[in-house]
């Protein structure tokens, strides 16, 4: 058996001799194209592309969290990937992509298969984590996915740099029945888990990523006390769920008993039912199949895919298993003005205080840091919209800017479903005597919520261009006013009526981001 020190020393030596972890060719090509000077791809598009590959995500975060870059940031380590992309610049992103080795260029084809299998299983865990976080706390979706991408860092790098030893681990598991943690320790003198933690620390990865690598050992996971514990709970549950699916039998009764045990183990972390888990598995499979089709990645023989499909084909449990948790209640105190609601920060959320520790709050800090640096207005507005979009998980977010030539507000930037097509026709004339909701918002300088577009009091105040263009049923309008003059308006929507009952804290963060956009515009006008 190797010693811990020998393993770490050998890894450092091999990582210097061997090229970086491989990344799929489609990602390199796409990132290179999006990061070229000729590309008009938004930071969000580029961020989404980067997140699809472990190796490229790893390289970008390592680069942005080096001592040099950390010193340039008053808030410390960078935790929002889009911010990392913004800081490094498109040239660095392109060079990072081009410097990575491709799967198909691996000389050892057997190693390529082993590494592919490890990376795919890791990616599946990250997708499930993202779906779980989306269903429970949609303000932590990007961070949860990112933490899950690094959950098996130790096993991934060991598979690439030390394949002979990894083979011994698998043989030991098959021979003795030991779990992977003990078997990897027996061979390497350090478990895969602790190897990943050590490497993450050396690479200056953010604390929440490192914290999420630790497997919870308790029979019952304690209630989260910090934001990092929430993320760790998402990652831990999702990976245990994936292992449970892979090892499960086709018996509905056995599956539900095993799942009930897992839900009970995490009962202090979140409230979730068997039906919720089925929905998460189903949506995860859909995303994985779409990913496989788009990037020509064969997933037909992946054990998780096979077993998950079998489980979904079984009859659902007779009764959903509810997990004890304090319910969250929302007291609605919007000021109703004829079906349109004047947004004021007066909602009260009882229960968890995690809303104040969301991506929105960190995004605000990172925008504040950028405001004292050199920035372009376009990049700043994109960043602010991206934080709003991801922080609240709107269906889409669009900012309109007043035309310099005439009295028209027209879409400038946006994120979300089919947004680039919609923006082509997202424009309206500013009229002082119009009482439609868009003109009301900019003329009175009020933040407005349309909770249900089908409300008879609201229908008559929706402009025809909007009715023809959009199919959502609830949206928010936040005007951008400078010196009492309307300069722009931010539009945010969701699919179904009543989905925008956001908390007072979240509303305050959205207003702060809008105010930061105003500061950026004022600064660039000087």
Report pLDDT for 55: 73
Residue 480: strand pairing partners: 488
Element (H, E) at 496: none
What does 53-112 look like in DSSP terms, one character per residue?
Answer: -HHHHHHHHHHHTSHHHHHT-TT-S---HHHHHHHHHHHHHHHHHHTSPPGGG-S-HHHH
Exposed, middle or buried: residue 159 (CB in 10 Å: 0-12, 13-18, 19+)?
A: buried
Specify the residue for token string 């968890």: 352
Out of 52-66, 203-217, 224-238, pick the least confident: 52-66
Specify the residue for token string 């400038």: 412
Q: Give tens-digit pLDDT for 83-100.
A: 777 777 766 676 566 555
Report pLDDT for 40: 59
Rg (CA), the chain: 25
Out of 117-121, 123-127, 233-237, 460-464, pick the least confident: 117-121
Average pLDDT of span 398-418: 91
Helix axes 109-136, 153-161, angle to 10 degrees: 170
Report pLDDT for 333: 43
Tell me how many degrees the CA angle 312-314-319 measures, rounded to the nearest 5: 95
In sequence order, the 6+-apart residues with CB closer than 8 A to the CB of 112 are 22, 103, 104, 106
Q: Give tens-digit pLDDT for 30-63.
A: 666 676 655 656 666 777 777 777 777 777 777 7
Out of 67-81, 226-240, 325-339, pick the least confident: 325-339
Instruction: Name the nearest CA neighbour of 447 among 507, 357, 518.
Output: 507
Structure tokens of 349?
């959320």
Residues 54, 119: contact at Cβ < 8 Å?
A: yes
The phi and psi torsions of 162 (rounded to 5 degrees) equal -135, 60
Dist. CA 343–CA 449, nearest whole Å: 6
Q: Where are the domains of the chain?
A: 4-22+101-313, 23-100, 335-525
Average pLDDT of span 262-267: 90
Which one has a higher pLDDT value, 463 or 43?
Answer: 463
347 pLDDT tier (thresholds 50, 70, 90): very low
107 pLDDT tier (thresholds 50, 70, 90): low
Average pLDDT of span 234-262: 83
The phi and psi torsions of 254 (rounded to 5 degrees) equal -65, -40
Instruction: Name the nearest CA neighbour of 387 among 233, 264, 510, 259.
Output: 510
152 pLDDT tier (thresholds 50, 70, 90): very high
Out of 122-126, 271-275, 281-285, 327-331, pick the least confident: 327-331
* CA-to-CA separations, 502 to 30, 169, 415, in angstroms, rounded: 36, 49, 19
For the domain spanning 335-525, the CATH number is: 3.30.450.40
Q: Give tens-digit pLDDT for 313-340.
A: 764 443 333 333 333 333 334 566 666 7
Dist. CA 356–CA 505, nearest whole Å: 6
Residues 56, 34: contact at Cβ < 8 Å?
A: no
Instruction: Name the nearest CA neighbour of 246 among 311, 299, 182, 191.
Output: 311
356 pLDDT tier (thresholds 50, 70, 90): very low
| Helix (DSSP H) and strand (DSSP E) numbers for the chain | 24, 10
Report pLDDT for 24: 60
pLDDT over 90 at 464, yes or no? yes
Average pLDDT of span 195-211: 87
Average pLDDT of span 389-402: 91
Going by the DSSP 8-state scheme, the letter that residue 480 receives in this structure is E
Residues 400, 412: contact at Cβ < 8 Å?
A: yes
Out of 130-134, 261-265, 340-344, pick the least confident: 340-344
Report pLDDT for 145: 85
Average pLDDT of span 295-319: 72
Q: What percent of the chain has pLDDT over 70?
A: 78
Out of 125-134, 183-192, 198-207, 452-461, pick the least confident: 198-207
238 pLDDT tier (thresholds 50, 70, 90): very high
Report pLDDT for 235: 94
Specify the residue for token string 């004890």: 324
Exposed, middle or buried: residue 150 (CB in 10 Å: 0-12, 13-18, 19+)?
A: buried
Report pLDDT for 60: 78
The phi and psi torsions of 70 (rounded to 5 degrees) equal -60, -40
For the domain spanning 4-22+101-313, the CATH number is: 1.10.3210
pLDDT over 90 at 359, yes or no? no
The phi and psi torsions of 6 (rounded to 5 degrees) equal -65, -40
Residues 433, 454: contact at Cβ < 8 Å?
A: no
Report pLDDT for 293: 75
Question: How many residues would you count in the chain?
Answer: 526
pTM of the prediction? 0.53
């Amino acid at each position: 058996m190797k010693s811990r020190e020998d393993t770490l020393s050998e890894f450092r030596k091999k990582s210097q001799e061997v090229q970086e972890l491989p990344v799929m060719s489609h990602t390199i090509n796409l990132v290179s194209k999006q990061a070229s000077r000729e590309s008009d791809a938004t930071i969000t598009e580029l961020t989404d592309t980067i997140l699809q590959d472990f190796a490229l995500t790893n390289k970008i975060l390592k680069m942005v969290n080096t001592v040099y870059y950390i010193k340039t940031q008053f808030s410390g380590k960078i935790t929002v990937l889009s911010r990392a992309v913004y800081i490094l610049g498109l040239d660095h992103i392109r060079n990072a992509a081009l410097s990575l080795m491709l799967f198909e260029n691996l000389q050892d084809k057997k190693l390529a298969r082993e590494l592919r299998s490890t990376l795919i299983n890791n990616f599946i865990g990250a997708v499930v984590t993202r779906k779980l976080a989306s269903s429970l706390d949609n303000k932590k979706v990007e961070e949860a996915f990112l933490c899950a991408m690094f959950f098996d860092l130790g096993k991934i790098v060991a598979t690439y740099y030390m394949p002979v030893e990894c083979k011994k681990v698998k043989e030991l598991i098959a021979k003795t029945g030991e779990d992977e943690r003990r078997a990897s320790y027996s061979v390497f003198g350090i478990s895969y888990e602790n190897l990943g933690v050590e490497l993450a620390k050396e690479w200056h990865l953010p604390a929440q990523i490192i914290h999420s690598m630790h497997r919870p050992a308790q029979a019952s996971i304690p209630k989260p006390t910090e934001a990092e514990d929430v993320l760790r709970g998402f990652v831990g549950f999702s990976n245990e769920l994936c292992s449970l699916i892979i090892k499960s039998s086709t018996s509905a009764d056995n599956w539900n008993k095993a799942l009930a045990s897992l839900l009970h183990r995490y009962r202090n972390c979140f409230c979730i039912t068997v039906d919720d888990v089925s929905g998460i598995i189903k949506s995860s499979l859909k995303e994985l199949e779409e990913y496989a089709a788009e990037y020509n990645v064969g997933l037909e023989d992946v054990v998780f895919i096979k077993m998950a499909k079998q489980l979904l084909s079984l009859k659902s449990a007779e009764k959903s298993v509810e997990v004890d948790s304090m319910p969250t209640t929302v007291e609605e105190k919007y000021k109703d003005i004829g079906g349109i609601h004047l947004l004021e920060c007066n909602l009260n959320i009882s229960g968890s205080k995690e809303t104040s520790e969301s991506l929105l709050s960190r995004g605000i800090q990172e925008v504040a840091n950028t405001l004292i640096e050199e920035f372009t207005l376009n990049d700043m507005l994109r960043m602010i919209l991206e934080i709003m979009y991801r922080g609240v998980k709107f269906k889409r977010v669009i900012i309109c800017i007043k035309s310099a030539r005439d009295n028209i507000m027209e879409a400038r930037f946006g994120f979300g479903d089919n947004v680039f097509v919609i923006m082509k026709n997202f424009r309206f004339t500013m009229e002082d005597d119009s009482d439609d909701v868009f003109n009301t918002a900019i003329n009175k300088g009020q933040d407005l919520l349309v909770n249900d577009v089908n409300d008879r009091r609201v229908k008559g105040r929706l402009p025809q261009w909007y009715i023809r263009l959009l199919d959502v049923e609830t949206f928010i309008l936040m005007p951008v006013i400078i010196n009492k003059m309307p300069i722009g308006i931010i539009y945010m929507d969701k699919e179904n009526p009543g989905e925008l009952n956001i908390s007072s804290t979240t509303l305050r963060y959205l207003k702060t981001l809008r105010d930061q956009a105003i500061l950026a515009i004022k600064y660039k006008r000087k």
